[in-house]
Amino acid sequence: MTKKENILQAAARLFARQGFDGTTTLQIASEAGVTEPLIYYHFTGKDEVFTSILKAGFDKYWVRIKALENLSGGAFSRVEKLISTHFSVVDEMPAEAFLIISACPAKLNDPDHLCRKIVEKQQKWISGYLRRCIKDGIASGEFVPMPIAPTVDTLSALINGTMRRRVLRLEQSKTTKEACIAFCKRALCA
Amino acid sequence: MTKKENILQAAARLFARQGFDGTTTLQIASEAGVTEPLIYYHFTGKDEVFTSILKAGFDKYWVRIKALENLSGGAFSRVEKLISTHFSVVDEMPAEAFLIISACPAKLNDPDHLCRKIVEKQQKWISGYLRRCIKDGIASGEFVPMPIAPTVDTLSALINGTMRRRVLRLEQSKTTKEACIAFCKRALCA
Amino acid sequence: MTKKENILQAAARLFARQGFDGTTTLQIASEAGVTEPLIYYHFTGKDEVFTSILKAGFDKYWVRIKALENLSGGAFSRVEKLISTHFSVVDEMPAEAFLIISACPAKLNDPDHLCRKIVEKQQKWISGYLRRCIKDGIASGEFVPMPIAPTVDTLSALINGTMRRRVLRLEQSKTTKEACIAFCKRALCA
Amino acid sequence: MTKKENILQAAARLFARQGFDGTTTLQIASEAGVTEPLIYYHFTGKDEVFTSILKAGFDKYWVRIKALENLSGGAFSRVEKLISTHFSVVDEMPAEAFLIISACPAKLNDPDHLCRKIVEKQQKWISGYLRRCIKDGIASGEFVPMPIAPTVDTLSALINGTMRRRVLRLEQSKTTKEACIAFCKRALCA
DNA sequence: GATGAATGAGTGTTCATTCAT
DNA sequence: TATGAATGAACACTCATTCAT
């Protein structure tokens, strides 16, 4: 593993545990087994390290998400896939998920920051995906009639909240995923 | 308004906009129209200022929530009340809601910090409330049969995610509240 | 006891335990059961509190010392009296003794500060007293011949070191006083 | 000279002149011709700077003292060596001597602080050395009979007080050293 | 006499970042 | 690539002191 990768891994661990502001460049360097200036050789600064990690994490996530686009099958099975994918994502990349969800609250207020842009891009994509599912479902009679936009909001919120609770380890049951899907099925399907 | 209240208000504004670490005591003092040492006369430090605001916000929220405890009526109407109360809370105290949800990510990892304790207390209460509603609903035949614990997780996540999206202004529809309630009704009721 | 006396007592305790710089006016006020501004009502500032204590301690000491001036008796018995008086002083007013010996090191460098002046006055008086004793002793044949000035220095140092060790609780024997006197007797007497 | 050494020298000068609490890190940096943060690059803080100086001074002193251990010769000549070594030490390293004696009064009260430990170590070694001398001297008949422990206290006090007076420039004679040794000879020798 | 509220001037310390090599 | 040394700019916090009452 290159030293650059060392830096990224160490930083990811530390950002996830302590947040962006709570992590110093010295800690990152120590944890990575390098000296501080090397961080500035490979990155423009602490912020770019953070952004790189975020971007890498998001890219991995994005690949998973994009794979859903060409899915065939019924409307609900596509909703179900979206939900179960998000459960998997948290399990497979908890540090990155924590970062996106929790490490940069102040940056979320800055409309120009990558952090905000990532969240918006993700939300937009999920909204589009869900909108299409729901439209199709209603059209085909698989779903009961319902207003589309606010239902998209509701499902987005459910996914968002589920990830957050899972990342923060607030969940109390082991079968939340199945119950969540069943819950949505009853809410959506005719 | 006393200078102490000035400090609290200024700090609340700044913490909400910039996060805890992004806000300096000098900024708080300036914004409040006082000198820095006065912060230390009225509070033990920056952390206590934050904690005071958090606690005050949570207390207001807690009053609203506790009022639901003695609610009579059907199981779903009690669930509905819980949901709509949370929508109202975000609208009525957005700064405080933002603080609880987003300003102290690192503190959420510290099990001894008030921040974490508040979240846990809130989650615990909501879980208990929902558990009772669902049990009652199933027993009376108002709800379809369903596993209780994971459904509680699901509903908690929905509320959590809804608040978060609303606080971060990610919602896209004006009728999300109604759709959310209708969604749950279909998911729960027989 | 008046509040002014309370302040002085509290301050004396704290200065002895923590030194001048290590003691805050707030600590003094708390320990004295008053508020800080009262200190400034009764004294011009922290320095005057310290100076007052020092002066009071020194005055008590001075009375004891001055009483030796009119002592009749042999040369050595007067030296002995001086030594045993200093042992008593440490035992009877340890806090004040500690203050003079140890609480204001930086102030000892300032020739204008009371602290330095007190030490000089004390040293001067002791020197004068010892000089007279030794002169008389040599003249009367009670003492062996010896150079006066450096012997005065030596005896002063012995008294100084003895007080210091006693104040700092470095002494290891219970009969140091007697041995010290016997030591001097052998060194001085014919 | 390296900048680290600059810092140590500047700090030593300032601590000796103004005491520990009276010296600021900014003063040290200015006097050393460096910026404040460099102090924190080379040391963990102001306290470690002080401790380093103290330790270095004590180490130099300790070498001188330890050299006395293997001294051959009569009991009194060994006592004499101890005394004259202490006179030399003050003359050769007055700043360090002042530090040990006078710059950290509050720290002397803290049993865990290096300051106290150094004083105790020194006192212990001197006590042991003197005890052996006196025992030997009495056994060989070179010294008059006398109680050992309190005489050790007395000689320790004499050395202590002599150093202190010399450091604080309270001595009045140029031949104090010789008189002090002669004084002890009369007190000890048969 | 006595105090609650307030402050000017610092204090030790930290940290992201840079420079010389 | 890589680092030891160094720093500008800030930071949370403290303290002796004062003011209005």
pLDDT tens, position by position, D147-175: 999 999 999 999 999 998 998 888 889 99
Burial B129-153 (b: 16+ CB within 10 A, else e): bbbebbeebbeeebbeebebbbbbb
Distance CA A11, CA A29 (A): 8
- Say whether residue C79 is in contact with chain D using an 8 A CB cutoff: no
Distance CA B170, CA A119 (A): 9
Residue D61 pLDDT class (50, 70, 90 cuts)? very high
Distance CA B105, CA B107 (A): 5
pLDDT tens, C24-58?
Answer: 999 999 999 999 999 999 999 999 999 999 999 99
Top pLDDT among C102 and B166 is at B166
Distance measured from the CA of protein residue B35 to the C1' of nucleotide E7, in angstroms? 7
pLDDT value of position B72: 87
Q: Classify domain C51-188 at the CATH class level.
A: mainly alpha
Cα B147 vs. chain centroid, distance in angstroms? 26
Residues of chain B found within 8 Å of residue A127, distances taken between Cβ atoms: 172
| In chain B, domain spans | 1-43, 54-188
Evaluate the CA torsion angle A18, A19, A25, A29 in order and state its sign. positive
Q: List A residues 25-54 in contact with B (Cβ-Cβ < 8 A).
A: none
Distance CA B25, CA B9 (A): 13
Say yes or no: Cβ of B45 under 7 A from any atom of strand F: yes
Residue D120 pLDDT class (50, 70, 90 cuts)? confident
D151·C179 Cβ contact <8 A: yes
pLDDT value of position A176: 95
D153·C168 Cβ contact <8 A: no
Say yes or no: Cβ of A144 under 7 A from any atom of strand E: no
C105·D109 Cβ contact <8 A: no
Q: What is the CA radius of gyration of chain D?
A: 19
Cα B11 vs. chain centroid, distance in angstroms? 18
Task: Give chain B's end-to-end CA distance (angstroms, integer).
Answer: 53
pLDDT value of position D174: 93
Say which CATH topology domain D55-188 has: Tetracycline Repressor; domain 2 (1.10.357)
pLDDT tens, C75-110?
Answer: 999 999 999 999 999 999 888 888 877 766 677 778
Distance CA A153, CA A123 (A): 10
Say yes or no: Cβ of A39 under 7 A from any atom of strand F: no
Residue A29 pLDDT class (50, 70, 90 cuts)? very high
- Residue D138 vs residues A161, B12, C176, D132: alpha-carbon distances, Å: 88, 80, 18, 10
Q: Residue for token digits 């320095």?
A: C47
Write down which residues 52-81 in C have CB closer than 7 A to strand F.
Answer: none
Q: Is the pLDDT assigned to residue A105 strictly greater than 70? A: no
Residue type, D29: A
- Residue from B12, B100, B16 nearest B58 by CA: B100
Q: What is the dihedral of CA A133, A138, A143, A149, to 10 degrees?
A: 60
Residue type, D109: N
Question: Longest Cα pair distance anywhere in chain C, in angstroms?
Answer: 62
- Residue from D141, D129, D151 nearest D69 by CA: D129
Indicate the average pLDDT of chain B.
92
pLDDT value of position B108: 77
Q: Is the pLDDT assigned to residue B84 strictly greater than 70? A: yes
Nearest to A147 among B161, B171, B175 (CB): B175
Distance measured from the CA of protein residue D42 to the C1' of nucleotide F5, in angstroms? 10
DSSP secondary structure letters along chain D: --HHHHHHHHHHHHHHHHTTTT--HHHHHHHHTS-HHHHHHHSSSHHHHHHHHHHHHHHHHHHHHHTTTT--S-HHHHHHHHHHHHHHHHHH-HHHHHHHHHS-HHHHT-TTSHHHHHHHHHHHHHHHHHHHHHHHHHHHTSB----HHHHHHHHHHHHHHHHHHHHTT----S-HHHHHHHHHHHHHB-
Choose, out of B20, B183, B188, the residue to mutate when testing the contact with A (most A CBs < 10 Å).
B183
Q: List C residues 87-116 in contact with D (Cβ-Cβ < 8 A).
A: 102-106, 108-109
Distance CA A69, CA A74 (A): 13
Which class for C100: exposed (0-12), middle (13-18), buried (19 or more C-beta within 10 A)?
Answer: buried
- SS3 (DSSP) at B2: coil
CA angle B89, B95, B96 (to 5 degrees): 65
Distance CA A82, CA A160 (A): 12
| Residues forming beta bridges with residue A143, ordered by sequence position | A189
Residue type, A120: E
- May I ask the CATH architecture of the domain C1-43? Orthogonal Bundle (1.10)
Distance CA A188, CA B105 (A): 34
Q: List Cβ neighbours of B162 (8 Å cut-off, separation of 6 or more).
A: A154, A157, A161, B83, B86, B87, B176, B180
pLDDT value of position D34: 96
B102·A123 Cβ contact <8 A: no
pLDDT value of position C112: 84
Indicate the average pLDDT of chain C.
92
* DSSP tag of B112: T
Task: Give chain C's end-to-end CA distance (angstroms, integer).
Answer: 53
Distance CA B167, CA B152 (A): 22
**Closest CA of chain C from D170, distance in Å:** 8
- SS3 (DSSP) at A189: strand
Determine the CATH number of domain A54-188. 1.10.357.10
pLDDT tens, A123-174?
Answer: 899 999 999 999 999 999 999 999 999 999 999 999 999 998 998 888 889 9
Are A152 and A54 in contact, with CB atoms under 8 Å apart?
A: no
| Domain A1-43 and domain A54-188 have a common topology | no
H helix intervals, chain C: 3-18, 25-32, 36-42, 46-66, 75-92, 94-98, 114-140, 148-167, 176-188
Nearest to A172 among B108, B127, B180 (CB): B127
Distance CA B91, CA C59 (A): 72
Say yes or no: Cβ of A46 under 7 A from any atom of strand E: yes
Q: What is the mean pLDDT of the segment spanning B65-69?
A: 92
pLDDT tens, B2-43?
Answer: 999 999 999 999 998 898 999 999 999 999 999 999 999 999
Q: What is the mean pLDDT of the segment spanning B162-167?
A: 90
Q: Is the pLDDT assigned to residue D107 strictly greater than 80? A: no
pLDDT value of position C103: 67
* DSSP tag of A103: I
Q: What is the dihedral of CA C107, C113, C114, C116, to 10 degrees?
A: 60
Q: Is the pLDDT assigned to residue A7 strictly greater than 80? A: yes
| Residues forming beta bridges with residue D143, ordered by sequence position | D189
pLDDT value of position C182: 97
For residue A50 the two structure tokens come to: 């953070």
pLDDT value of position A103: 67
Considering only alpha carbons, which residue of chain B is nearest residue A176?
Answer: B150
pLDDT value of position B56: 92
Are B96 and B169 in contact, with CB atoms under 8 Å apart?
A: no
Q: List Cβ neighbours of B71 (8 Å cut-off, separation of 6 or more).
A: B77, B78, B81
For residue D77 the two structure tokens come to: 């000549």
Distance measured from the CA of protein residue D35 to the C1' of nucleotide F10, in angstroms? 14
pLDDT value of position D95: 82
Distance CA B73, CA C20 (A): 70
Q: List A residues 152-171 in contact with B (Cβ-Cβ < 8 A).
A: 152-154, 156-162, 164-165, 168, 170-171
pLDDT value of position C110: 80
For residue D167 the two structure tokens come to: 């450091």
DSSP secondary structure letters along B32-99: HTS-HHHHHHHSSSHHHHHHHHHHHHHHHHHHHHHTTTT--S-HHHHHHHHHHHHHHHHHH-HHHHHI
Residue D98 pLDDT class (50, 70, 90 cuts)? confident
Distance CA D64, CA D82 (A): 10
pLDDT value of position C105: 67
Residue type, D112: D
